[in-house]
Each structure stands twice: as structure tokens, then as C-alpha cells.
Structure 1
Amino acid sequence: MSKVVLITGGSSGIGKSIGEFLTENGFKVYGTSRSPERYPESKFPILKLDVKDVATISLCVQSLIERESRLDVLINNAGVGITGPIEEIPLEEMKSHFDTNFFGPLEVIKAVLPQMRKQKSGLIINVTSIAGYMGLPYRGIYSASKGALELVTEAYRMELKDFNIKMTNVAPGDFATNIAAGRFHAPVNQESPYKTPYGNTLKLMDSHVDSGKDPKIMAEAILKVIQTENPKIHYKVGEFMQKFSIVLKRILPDKMYEKLLINHYKL
């Protein structure tokens, strides 16, 4: 019997690539979007779900279980970017960002756990980011939200171990997607003391995404995780240096690592 997979944010970018690849490999895939009617050509069904709206989460999960009578894999992929000097990002934007990247995924997990507990099996994959392993300049709020999801996964795994429900993180680096177009950008204020370094860093970040790898690489990594009997706690997918930067943070003195980031971003 084909495994049933739910992918939040499955209408574009990494989520779409994962959904198409898993569909090609025999999985019964459902994606989600706030506006599913915009994707009539999708290769897998798109259900209505807004991670910031608990009612839509409940209805989506309930509808899927009514159709399939089970849910084997949740891929918490929906998320947004945010950039800017932390001092200049409005507090409401920070809270909105955490609602999407942190609290939203937790609400989706909460909605699927009763069914997974009932069937005594399940896998939850939280798509985080390599940026979540370090505080990046002008991406500090994004780093914080993804880092928070990484840590919560560590705790959740231990709480779920008695129910045969597995949970893991998959942290991508830069992939060629539309995340840059959809992220919140604090404006480059001409009167801001951060004008020059923020403007330069923004251009560098966008160039990294534009030259990023094919998101199918992420889809292939997700398939391997699903096929693993006992997934690890953390997976990283991306360029060698992006993954190696996490190793360097672990072994270098804090100030030396900070200096590497300063030099990288030409600050």
C-alpha cells in the first residue's frame, strides 16, 4: 500500500519538487496552499491550509484522513524568509514570521499526531535551514525561527518515542526557488545607519538563491529519509561549504567563527 504524504507549502519551490518526486516514486501525495485553486495543473492534489490559521489546519488533516484513512508522513515545509537589520524590523513582522515558520508547523504536528498515534506509526520531517545553525547578519530572525524548530524537534522526538512516531529535521542550504521574492524585506532606508552593509548583504543573499542548486536534490534527500527505518535527528542538504560551516561553528572559537562570517558578508 502506498504511503500517504502531506506536504505543507507543496504548491511551489522545494515543496513542489518533493511532491512531484515522491509521486513519481509511488507515494500518495497531498500538498497544501492557502489558495489551492491557483494550481489546477499540479501533479498531486493541493488542499487548502494556512499554517497561521488553526481551523484550516484541522479541516485539511480531517479531510485527508477521511479520504485515505491514514497519514504516514508529514513534511512540514511551509515557511517564509525575512531580512533586515533586527533593530528596524517591525515587531509585528517578527511575530508573523514566527507564526509561519515555528508556531504554524507545531500546530500542524499537533493536528496529525492523534492519527499517527492511532495507527502506531508515522514520520514527521521538519524542513528547517542551514541558516538555523548560526546567527546570520540581516537574517537573524529567520535564523532564530529555523533554529527554534531544530531544537523543538530534538525534544519532540523523545516525547514521541513510545508511540513509534519518528521525527527529524532536514536543513537545506541555498536552492533555486522563489523564496527571495516571497520573503519580507525591511526596506533599505537611505537614512539608516545600516544602509550600506544591509544593501550589500541583501544582494549577496539573493545571488546565492539565484545560483542555488536544483531543488530535486532536496527531494531525493527526503525520499532517503522516508526510506530510513530510524532517521537521524539532523540532516543537512546543500553545498559542501554550507554544510561544512556547521562543522566549523562547532570546532572554532566563537569570535573566530564570527570573523569568518564578517569576512564572507564583507561587513
Structure 2
Amino acid sequence: MSKVVLITGGSSGIGKSVGEFLQDKGFIVYGTSRNPNNYPDSKFPIVALDVTLPETIFSCVATVLEKESRIDVLINNAGAGITGPVEEIPDVEIKRNFETNFFGPINVIKAVLPSMRSQNSGLIINITSIAGYMGLPFRGVYSASKGALELITEAFRMELKDFNIEMTNVAPGDFATNIAAGRYHAPVLDDSPYKDKYGHSLAMMDEHVDDGNDPKEMAQAIFKIINTKSPKIHYKVGAFMQKFSIVLKRILPDKVYERLLMNHYKL
């Protein structure tokens, strides 16, 4: 029997690539978007869902369950970027980012757990970020929201052991997607003490995304995880040096690692 996969944020970028890859492999795939009508040519059904609105989450899950009677794999992919000096990012934007990157995925998990528990099986894959393993300058809010999702997954996994439900994180590095276009960018203010360094860092971030890996690499990694009997807690997918940066953080003294980051970002 083909497994049913629900991918939040499945209309573009990594979510779209993963969905198309899995469908080609014989999975029954549903994606989500805040505006499904904008994607009439999607290769798989797109269901309305806004991760910041719990009522749309439960409606989406109910729709998929009504059609397929089960959800075997949830891929929590919907997310939002945010950049800026922490001091200058408005509180409302910080809270909005956490609503999308942290509270949203938790609410989607809550919505699918009853059905997964009743079928005594399920796999939940949370798409986090390599940025969630370290506090990056001018990406501090994004690092914090993705890092929070990494940590809560560790707790969730232990709580779900009795129900035969697996949960894992997949942390991508930079991939060639349209994520930069959807980010909230705190403006580079002429009178800001961060003007020059933030402006330079912002240009570097966009360049890294443009030069990123093919999203199909993420799709292949997720396909492999789905077919793994007992998934690991954490996976990292991306360029070697991005993944190696996590290893360096574990082994280097904090201030040495901080200096490496500052040198990288020319701060």
C-alpha cells in the first residue's frame, strides 16, 4: 500500500522538490499552501493551510484523512527566513517568525498525532536548518526558531516511543530556492550602527542561497529516511563545510568558534 505523505509548504522550493520526488517513487503526496489556487499546475494536490492559523491546520489534516483514511508521513517543511540586527527587528516580526517556524510545526504535529496513534505507526520529519545549531550574526532570530524546533524534537521523540511513531530533524544548509524572496529583512538603516556590517552580511546570505545545492539532494535524503527502519534524531544535508561547521562547534572553544564565524562574515 502506498504511503500517504503530507508536506507543509509543498508548493515551492524544497517542499515542491520533495513532493515531486516522492510522488515519482509511488507515494501519495499532499502539499499545502496558504493560497492553493495559485498552483493549478502542481503535480500533486495542494491543500489550504497557514501554519500560523490552527483552524486551517486541523481542517487540512481532516481533508487528507477524509480522502486517504491515514497519514503515514508528515514533513514539517513550511518556514520563513528573517534577517536583521536583533536590536532592530520589531517584536512583532520576531513573534511572527516563531509562530511560523516553531509553534506552527508543533500544531501540525498535534493535529496528526491522534490518527498516527490510532494506526500505531507514523513518521514526522521536521525541516530545521544548519543555522539552528549556532547563533549566526544578523540571523539570530532564525537560528533561535530553528534551534528550538531541533530541541523540542528530541523531547517529542521520547514521549512518542510507546506509540510506534518516529520523529526526526533534517537540517539543510543553503539550497537554490526562492527562500530569500520570502524572508523578512529588517531594513538597512542609514543611521544604524549596524549599517555597513549588516548590509554586507545580507548580500552574502543572498549569494549563498543563489549558489546553493540542488533541492533534489534534500528529496533524496528524505526518501532514504522514510525507508529507514529506525531514523536517527538529527540529519544534516548540504555542503561539506556547512555540515562540518557543526562538528567544529562541538570541538572548539566557544570563543575560537565565535572568531571563526566573525571572520567568515567579515565582522
Normalised to the residue count of structure 2, the TM-score between the two structures is 1.00
Match of 2:54 in 1: 54
Match in the other structure for 1:92: 92
2-side partners of 1:174 and 1:59: how far apart? 32
Report the alpha carbon displacement of residue 110 of structure 1 after superposing the two structures with TM.
Answer: 0.2
> Which aligned pairs between 1:127-206 and structure 2 lie closer than 5 A?
127-206=127-206
Q: Secondary structure, in 3 states, of the residue corresponding to 1:26?
A: coil
1:213-265 Cα offsets, whole Å, 9 max, x none, are 10000000000000000000000000000000000000000000000000000
Q: Secondary structure at the match of 2:123?
A: strand
Amino acid at match of 1:153: T
Q: How does 1:1-267 map onto structure 2 within 5 Å?
A: 1-267=1-267
Q: Which amino acid in structure 2 is aligned with residue 46 of structure 1?
A: I
SS of the residue corresponding to residue 58 of structure 1 reads helix
What amino acid maps onto 2:190 in structure 1?
Q
- Secondary structure of 2:125's match? strand
Counterpart Cα distance in 1 of 2:63 and 2:81: 29
Measure, in 2, the Cα distance between the counterparts of 1:245 and 1:138. 18
Letter in 1 for 2:208: H
Q: How far apart, CA to CA, are the structure 2 residues paired with 1:168 and 1:176?
A: 23
Distance in 1 between the 2:232 and 2:211 partners? 29
Q: CA deviation at 1:40?
A: 0.5
Q: CA deviation at 1:71?
A: 0.6
Q: Separation in 2 of the partners of 1:85 and 1:203?
A: 14
Whole-Å separation in 2 of the counterparts to 1:47 and 1:14: 17
Fraction of identical pairs, as percent: 75
Structure 1: tracts of 5 or more residues without a match = none
Offset of 1:139 from its aligned partner?
0.0
Deviation at 1:191, TM superposition (A): 0.3
CA distance, structure 2, for counterparts of residue 205 and residue 37 of structure 1: 31
* Structure 1 SS opposite 2:236: strand
Q: Deviations over 1:86-132 (max 9, x none)?
A: 00000000000000000000000000000000000000000000000
